C-alpha cells in the first residue's frame, strides 16, 4: 500500500503511478477479444496477461506471471531485453510485452528469458523449447509457429516442437533493431512475418564500425563498465540491410535500396493488404522515401517521397495501404498559410487545415482511424469514412485521448485534468461495452493547472502555484522554476492531463511558481510554429 507516503516515496513505490494501470492493448481481428497487461495493485510491479470478452463484457486472467514461474523471480533477463526496457522506459516486471497471431487466439511472451505460449481461449500455458535466452517472440499469422531472437540470431519453432536457426552469423545480428531505430525512430522490432506465414523479412545489422562507449554503474562501482555501441553525431552508423527468409527452404532474398543515400530503415510493414513496404530516411532526417518491395526479386520502387530542409517527422501507423493500390501517408502540407500534418490517400488530402495528425491507428477499406489535435492542449480520436468522406471526432472531453481499433471494437484511453486517473473504455460498433478498471494508486498531490499561451508565438504553457505549504494563498511574489522537457521524443509536454503535472505541483507546493513551456517545433502547433 502507498497510504501515508510522501509524494516522492509514493511516486517511487508506484513507478510513477504506472503500476496497476491496464496497458498494451491488442484487439483480435474479429473484434471479439481485448488483450491487455495489468498488475494486481498500484504498488505491485508484476504484470499479468488479461482478456476482455467483448460480447459478455467479462474479464478473465489469461496468464499469471507468478503462476507461470511458480513463484520464482523474473529478474534474469537477456541483455537485449534489458536494453529494450531501458529504451521503452519500462518500469514494471512480469509479462511486460506479448505478441499474438492474426486471430488473437495465441499469445507469446517471455519470462526470465524463457519462451511461453498461451492459448487465449483456454488459458493453457506452455513453455516452448527455445535455443537460448529469448527476446521478442512473435507467432506466425496462423499461430502454428513462433519466431524469436537469441544470441543475436533469428530462430523459429513449431509450437510444441523443436527450434531451428533461420539466420545466425558471427559478428552481426539478425532480427534485432539497432540503437538508432529503437531509440529515435520508434522501430523496436527487427523482423516481420509475411501474411501467409511462409516467410520472414528480417534486418541484418553490422555494428562493427560503430564506436564503443563504456558506461559505469555508479551504484555498483566494483562492476566492470558495460560496453555499448553508440553512433554519436559524426561517427559511423550501423550498417542495416533487409532480407526475406524462406521458412520452408534455404532461400534468402536481399531487399535492395540506395542504403548509401538512405541508411536509416525507419519502418517496415508487411500486412494482408499491399506489398512489403519500407520507409527509408537519410542521415540528416530531411528526406525519406516509401518503397514497395517486389517480393520475388527484392527490388524496390519509390511510391512516395518527401523532403524538408528542416526536419521530417515520422508519424506512427504509416505508411499503410487502403487497398492494393492506394497508399495512406501523413505529410506536412501547406494550406491557407499554415503547414498542417495531414493524412493523404493516393495523393488526395482527407484532413482539414489546422488538424495535425499524431498517429494513424487503423486503416481499412471502410475507415481510417487516427489521433490528431487542432490546438496545443488536447488530442482526440478521429474517424474518416472512406465511403462517404465524412470526418468525425470520436472523443469530446478535453484531454489526451488514444485508442486501439480492430474489427469494429475500439479501446479508448483518456487522460484529463478532471481526475488523476486514466480511463479505459471499450465500444463495439459505436456502442458502449464496458470500462477496464485500473488499480493504479491515487497520488497524494492533486495538480491545479492554469493553461496559457505566451509571447508573440503563443507558446503553450502551464503554470502551477502552491496549493499547500509555503506561499499557498499568498499574493506576494514567488521564485519561478522553469520545467521544460528535454528528453528524446518530440511530444507535447503541455496538455490537459493531470498526470503530466504531478511532479511540478509537488515542486510548487514547496513554495515555487512552476512554469512548463512547449518550445517551437513541438507537435500540435503546426510544423512552422
pLDDT at 528 over 90: no
Percentage of the chain beyond pLDDT 90 is 75
pLDDT at 490 over 60: no
The pLDDT confidence band at residue 153, using thresholds 50, 70 and 90, is very high
Which whole-number Å values give the CA distances from 219 to 215, 223, 224, 225, 275, in the listed order?
Answer: 12, 9, 12, 12, 49
Q: pLDDT by residue (tens digit) across 311-324?
A: 898 999 999 999 99
pLDDT average, residue stretch 107-122: 95
Contact 281, 184 (CB under 8 A): no
pLDDT average, residue stretch 185-206: 97
Q: Which residues contact 221 (CB under 8 A, 6 or more apart)?
A: none
pLDDT average, residue stretch 479-499: 73
pLDDT average, residue stretch 491-519: 85
pLDDT average, residue stretch 362-387: 94
> How confident is the model at residue 226, as a pLDDT?
87
pLDDT at 155 over 70: yes
Preceding amide of 64 cis, omega within 30: no
pLDDT at 258 over 60: yes
Does residue 301 or residue 72 have the better pLDDT? 301
The pLDDT confidence band at residue 457, using thresholds 50, 70 and 90, is confident
pLDDT at 271 over 80: yes
The pLDDT confidence band at residue 227, using thresholds 50, 70 and 90, is confident
Contact 358, 372 (CB under 8 A): yes
Which H/E stretch holds residue 508? helix 502-508
Compute the distance between CA of residue 368 and CA of residue 350 in angstroms, rounded to an integer.
Answer: 10
> How confident is the model at residue 82, as a pLDDT?
67
Minimal CA–CA distance to 114: which of 101, 95, 141?
95
The pLDDT confidence band at residue 166, using thresholds 50, 70 and 90, is very high
pLDDT at 77 over 80: no
- The radius of gyration computed from the CA coordinates of the chain, to the nearest angstrom, equals 24
* Cell numbers 471502410: residue: 366
> How confident is the model at residue 375, as a pLDDT?
83
Does residue 337 or residue 505 have the better pLDDT? 505
Q: pLDDT by residue (tens digit) across 202-225?
A: 999 999 999 999 999 898 999 999
Compute the distance between CA of residue 47 and CA of residue 65 in angstroms, rounded to an integer.
Answer: 7
pLDDT at 402 over 90: yes
> How confident is the model at residue 471, as a pLDDT?
75
Tell how strand 338-345 and strand 348-349 pair up: antiparallel
pLDDT at 522 over 80: no
pLDDT at 80 over 80: no
pLDDT at 1 over 60: no
CA angle 310, 311, 312 (to 5 degrees): 145
Contact 345, 380 (CB under 8 A): no
pLDDT at 488 over 60: no
Under DSSP, is residue 123 helix (H, G, I), strand (E, B) or coil?
coil
- The chain-wide mean pLDDT, for the chain, equals 91
Does residue 518 or residue 172 have the better pLDDT? 172
Which sequence spans correspond to the domains of the chain?
Answer: 449-517
Tell me the β-bridge partners of 509. Answer: none
Compute the distance between CA of residue 501 and CA of residue 417 in angstroms, rounded to an integer.
Answer: 9
DSSP string computed for 297-350 = T--EEEEEEEE-SS--PPPTT-SEESSSS-EEEEEEEEETTEEEEEEEETTEE-
The pLDDT confidence band at residue 520, using thresholds 50, 70 and 90, is low
Tell how strand 145-150 and strand 135-139 pair up: antiparallel
> How confident is the model at residue 85, as a pLDDT?
66
Compute the distance between CA of residue 273 and CA of residue 264 in angstroms, rounded to an integer.
Answer: 24
Compute the distance between CA of residue 123 and CA of residue 129 in angstroms, rounded to an integer.
Answer: 19
pLDDT at 484 over 60: yes
> What sign for the dihedral angle of Cα 186, 235, 205, 172?
negative
pLDDT at 250 over 80: no
Contact 141, 101 (CB under 8 A): yes
The pLDDT confidence band at residue 524, using thresholds 50, 70 and 90, is low
Give burial (CB, 10 Å; 0-12/13-18/19+) of 124: exposed
Compute the distance between CA of residue 126 and CA of residue 63 in angstroms, rounded to an integer.
Answer: 11
Least confident of 11-15, 280-284, 335-339, 517-521: 517-521
> How confident is the model at residue 517, as a pLDDT?
87
Does residue 81 or residue 161 have the better pLDDT? 161
Does residue 5 or residue 201 have the better pLDDT? 201
pLDDT average, residue stretch 476-488: 80
pLDDT at 2 over 80: no
pLDDT at 104 over 90: yes
Tell me the β-bridge partners of 338. Answer: 335
> How confident is the model at residue 299, as a pLDDT?
98
> How confident is the model at residue 84, as a pLDDT?
66
Least confident of 94-103, 250-259, 485-494, 517-526: 485-494
C-alpha cell at 486: 528535454
Q: Is the pTM of this model over 0.85?
A: yes
Residue 283: count of CB within 10 angstroms of its CB: 14
> What sign for the dihedral angle of Cα 347, 351, 356, 357?
negative
Q: How many helices (H) and strands (E) does the chain have?
A: 5, 40
pLDDT average, residue stretch 503-520: 90
Least confident of 85-94, 189-198, 280-289: 85-94
The pLDDT confidence band at residue 487, using thresholds 50, 70 and 90, is low
Amino acid at each position: 500500500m502507498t497510504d501515508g507516503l510522501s509524494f516522492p516515496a509514493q511516486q517511487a513505490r508506484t513507478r510513477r503511478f504506472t503500476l496497476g494501470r491496464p496497458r498494451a492493448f491488442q484487439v483480435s481481428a474479429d473484434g471479439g477479444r481485448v488483450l491487455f497487461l495489468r498488475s494486481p495493485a498500484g504498488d505491485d510491479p508484476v504484470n499479468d496477461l488479461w482478456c476482455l470478452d467483448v460480447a459478455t463484457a467479462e474479464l478473465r486472467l489469461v496468464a499469471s506471471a507468478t503462476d507461470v514461474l511458480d513463484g520464482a523471480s523474473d529478474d534474469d533477463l537477456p541483455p537485449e531485453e534489458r536494453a529494450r526496457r531501458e529504451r521503452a522506459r519500462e518500469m514494471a516486471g512480469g509479462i511486460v510485452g506479448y505478441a499474438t497471431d492474426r486471430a488473437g487466439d495465441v499469445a507469446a511472451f517471455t519470462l526470465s528469458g524463457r519462451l511461453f505460449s498461451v492459448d487465449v481461449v483456454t488459458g493453457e500455458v506452455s513453455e516452448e523449447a527455445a535455443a537460448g535466452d529469448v527476446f521478442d517472440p512473435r507467432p506466425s499469422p496462423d499461430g502454428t509457429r513462433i519466431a524469436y531472437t537469441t544470441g543475436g540470431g533469428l530462430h523459429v519453432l513449431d509450437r510444441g516442437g523443436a527450434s531451428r536457426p533461420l539466420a545466425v552469423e558471427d559478428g552481426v545480428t539478425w532480427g534485432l533493431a539497432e540503437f538508432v531505430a529503437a531509440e529515435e525512430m520508434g522501430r523496436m522490432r527487427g523482423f516481420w512475418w509475411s501474411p501467409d506465414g511462409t516467410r520472414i523479412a528480417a534486418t541484418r545489422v553490422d555494428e562493427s564500425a560503430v564506436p564503443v562507449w563504456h558506461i559505469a554503474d555508479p551504484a555498483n562501482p566494483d562492476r566492470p563498465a558495460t560496453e555499448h555501441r553508440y553512433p554519436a553525431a559524426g561517427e559511423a552508423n550501423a550498417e542495416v540491410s533487409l532480407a526475406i527468409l524462406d521458412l520452408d527452404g534455404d532461400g534468402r532474398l536481399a531487399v535492395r535500396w540506395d542504403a548509401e543515400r538512405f541508411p536509416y530503415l525507419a519502418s517496415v510493414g508487411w500486412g494482408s493488404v499491399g506489398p512489403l513496404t519500407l520507409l527509408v530516411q537519410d542521415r540528416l532526417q530531411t528526406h525519406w522515401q516509401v518503397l514497395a518491395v517486389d517480393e520475388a526479386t527484392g527490388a524496390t520502387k519509390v511510391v512516395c517521397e518527401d523532403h524538408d530542409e528542416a526536419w521530417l517527422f515520422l508519424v506512427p501507423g504509416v505508411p499503410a495501404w487502403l487497398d492494393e493500390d492506394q497508399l495512406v501517408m501523413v505529410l506536412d502540407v501547406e494550406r491557407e498559410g499554415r503547414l498542417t500534418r495531414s493524412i493523404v490517400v493516393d495523393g488526395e488530402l482527407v484532413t482539414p487545415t489546422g488538424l495535425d495528425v499524431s498517429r494513424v491507428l487503423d486503416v481499412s477499406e471502410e475507415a481510417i482511424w487516427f489521433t490528431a489535435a487542432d490546438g496545443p492542449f488536447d488530442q482526440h480520436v478521429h474517424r474518416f469514412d472512406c465511403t462517404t468522406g465524412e470526418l468525425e471526432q470520436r472523443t469530446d472531453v478535453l484531454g489526451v485521448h488514444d485508442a486501439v481499433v480492430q474489427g469494429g471494437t475500439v479501446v479508448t484511453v483518456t487522460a484529463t485534468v478532471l481526475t488523476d486517473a486514466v480511463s479505459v473504455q471499450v465500444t463495439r460498433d459505436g456502442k458502449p461495452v464496458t470500462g477496464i478498471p485500473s488499480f493504479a494508486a491515487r497520488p497524494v498531490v492533486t495538480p491545479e493547472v492554469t493553461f496559457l499561451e505566451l509571447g508573440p508565438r503563443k507558446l503553450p504553457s502551464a503554470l502551477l502555484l502552491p496549493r499547500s505549504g509555503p506561499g499557498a494563498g499568498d499574493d506576494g511574489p514567488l521564485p519561478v522554476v522553469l520545467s521544460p522537457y528535454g528528453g528524446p521524443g518530440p511530444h507535447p509536454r503541455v496538455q490537459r492531463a493531470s498526470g503530466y503535472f504531478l511532479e511540478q505541483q509537488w515542486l510548487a507546493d514547496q513554495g515555487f511558481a512552476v512554469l512548463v513551456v512547449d518550445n517551437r517545433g513541438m507537435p500540435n502547433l503546426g510544423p512552422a510554429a
